[in-house]
Amino acid sequence: MVNAHDLLWGMTLAHLPADAPAWVRAVIAAAHPVVVRRALAEPGYVAVGVRGRLREQRFAAVMPMAAVQRRVTPEALCGVISPRDLPALRALDQLRPVLARKVWGVTGSAGFELATGIEALHAQSDLDLLLRTPERLERGEAEALLAILDTAPCAVDLQLQTPYGAVALREWAGPARRVLLKTASGAQLVSDPWQAVA
């Protein structure tokens, strides 16, 4: 079972569509991992994204589950320490004790860099985090957590992973009655991200 934001190794050039751009082929030829994305795929396949060096270089693809050789979850990266000194990594150091009693993980550029050692972060990078919230996080708790995250040395984008999808902590901590829940079948406006979407 794989989840959104897991990193997977094992994709080959044979798994790419014929029209895949040259940069995508170079990334896969270099044996970089792909990231599981929130989308539906045929049985036996997983929807993945290929990351390039530039922010706009993102390519959606599918990978056979049978090809997966290694999987790294966001949670597996919580304790990985980088020798680099960047705001996103300083923010991660600062927030580790805050999140220590929760089930959380590192995603985005920071997660990719910590998992691979390939430099993906720069001085302006945000820190992307994931918090597993099988039980409802009250809006007051969300506000308190957001206030702590906002003291970090860079912008922190934390996604709450509910049983039904993901919602941005910043949105759930805000005043809007309905929030955007990202699911495998698309995004929906919901009043309660912990309720099954009809």
Both tokens of 109, joined, read: 């550029």
Distances (CA, A) of 76 to 101, 113, 115: 15, 13, 9
**Catalytic residue annotation:** 126, 128
Give dist(CA 75, CA 188) in Å, integer.
26
CB-based contacts of 110, cutoff 8 Å, min separation 6 = 77, 88, 89, 92, 120, 121, 125, 127, 128
Strands 7-9 and 70-72, by their bridges, are antiparallel
Give dist(CA 134, CA 163) in Å, integer.
6
